[in-house]
Amino acid sequence: MKIESAVNSGDYDPESWIILGVFQDQKQNSTFQELDSKSLGFLQKLLEIGSFTGKLGQTQRLFEVLGIHVPGVLLVGLGPSTPVSPSDYRKAISASATALGEANVITATLSLSEIPIDGRDTQWAAQACTQIFQEQLYSYREQSSVLKQPLEKLLLIGTSEQNEQIRSGILHGNALADASQFSRRLADTPANICTPTWLAEQATVMAAQQGLDSQILGPDDMQALGMHLLLGVAQGSRQEPRLILLKHNGGTPEQAPVILVGKGVTFDAGGISLKPAKNMDRLKYDMSGGAAVLGAIQTAAALKLPINVMAIVPATENLPDGQATKPGDVHCSMNGLTVEVLNTDAEGRLILADALAYAEQFKPDVVIDTAMLTGARFVALGAHASALYSNDADLAEQLRTAGEKSLDRLWPMPLWPEYHEQLKSSFADLANIGGEGGGSITAACFLSRFAEKYRWAHLDGGGMSTDSPAGIARHVPLLMAFLISYADTSNQGLA
């Protein structure tokens, strides 16, 4: 879809629909008043009748309204009053995109200056609008013949003072939408296609397109590096594991990188600790953390961020087999710690541990790992926030702020020594599970043992719904907001 900015001149494209925000309190903006006047009071009469009330997210399509020389007007409810909260704004825009898509509208116009948003500027509004409309067009088409009729053009208009902000918002929104759709396509791909090798190939293609450096490590490389946790998870599968490495060299050569690590389990049957059959098909999404990391570094490249960013994705399947790791087996990690695998279904932390140990050699300023790791996170926080763990208070606050800005929220969780005690093992340096209670916390404590020599944060989005874009591409908007803030703050790291 082509999204453009323009200065509001009072004239409208005669071939374009107009998106018109309406408040419940009937204190309407100047665009509403102008169009109402042209329609001889039709819009106001419609509100007085009560069929359209302005309730948040409510929409009504009006075709060829008398006096308004455009194909149609889409009314969208903005809720009780101004200013609109950021989350309510996104809901209203999403409802608009859905309604226009259902009507097969080709061109639409939205005046951003007419919708004040609490605590957000015009650039944020344009970015959110661009992202939502672009992502509304996504459908996984590779194995389906069902195609969506796309909106071809969206015009975002504002004052002359707002025009540069709108342009910047469109640029950022398109980059984020592209990254989110790339991540969603990877995650939506069936596991018989999306193997570790296939995932590595897709990452390599994207890297070439975006000008990123890429390197793919196989089992022999992992063996030489001592990555026996990753290899231990992979040994129950006929598909070879891969370690995907991408680099965006936007900073100076001496600048310490930001490293993003994402869990890439392309299918998780649980290994010998087999999962229940119900909903097992959803476990193709267990590589969503890896997909999000790949999307995030794509965004860094697209926006030419002046920092060095590296993505590391350990990719494997976790299946039961005669050679699979058994509960009670002990493997040695890359950093030398031995791990007793008490539950083979707690495999994500194992592959992330070797990846975190591998990251140390690059002398990073910051390392952030992301994964749909534990169901315990959902028990603790429900569907609306991911768990945030960190060994650095400033980094945790930067991420929490990025989460608020992107509406991909995080909630800080503890890493107290008492939780580390739950990981004691009689046969190894530590166990891969911590027993009953605090499952998300003990998983993070496990990972922290492999991230002691740099500033680190762990994002656990486990249990998030995979039935929505937010669940599948979790943390792409958050990581983008963090990287942009990081780049704006300092090329040498967080202040």
The catalytic site residues sit at: 275, 349
Could you give the CA distance from residue 293 to residue 261 in angstroms, rounded to a whole number? 7
Which strands make up the sheet holding 430-431, listed edge to edge? 329-332, 338-341, 430-431
Whether residue 293 contacts residue 261, with contact meaning beta carbons closer than 8 Å, is answered with yes
Give the Cβ contact number of residue 96 at 10 Å: 26
Phi-psi region of 296 (alpha: psi -120 to 50; beta: other; left: phi over 0): alpha
Q: What angle do CA 285, 288, 292 make, to 5 degrees?
A: 160
Q: What angle do CA 311, 304, 158 make, to 5 degrees?
A: 125
| Nearest alpha carbon to residue 24 among 72, 68, 75 | 75
Whether residue 16 contacts residue 157, with contact meaning beta carbons closer than 8 Å, is answered with no
Could you give the CA distance from residue 317 to residue 69 in angstroms, rounded to a whole number? 57
Tokens describing residue 449: 């043992």
Could you give the CA distance from residue 187 to residue 193 in angstroms, rounded to a whole number? 11
Find all residues with CB under 8 Å of 165, minimum gap 6, and list them.
Answer: 121, 122, 123, 126, 158
CA 337 to chain centre: 32
Find all residues with CB under 8 Å of 465, minimum gap 6, and list them.
Answer: 383, 471
Find all residues with CB under 8 Å of 187, minimum gap 6, and list them.
Answer: 284, 285, 287, 288, 291, 466, 472, 473
| Nearest alpha carbon to residue 156 among 355, 4, 384 | 4
Could you give the CA distance from residue 359 to residue 352 in angstroms, rounded to a whole number? 10
Tell me how long the chain is: 495
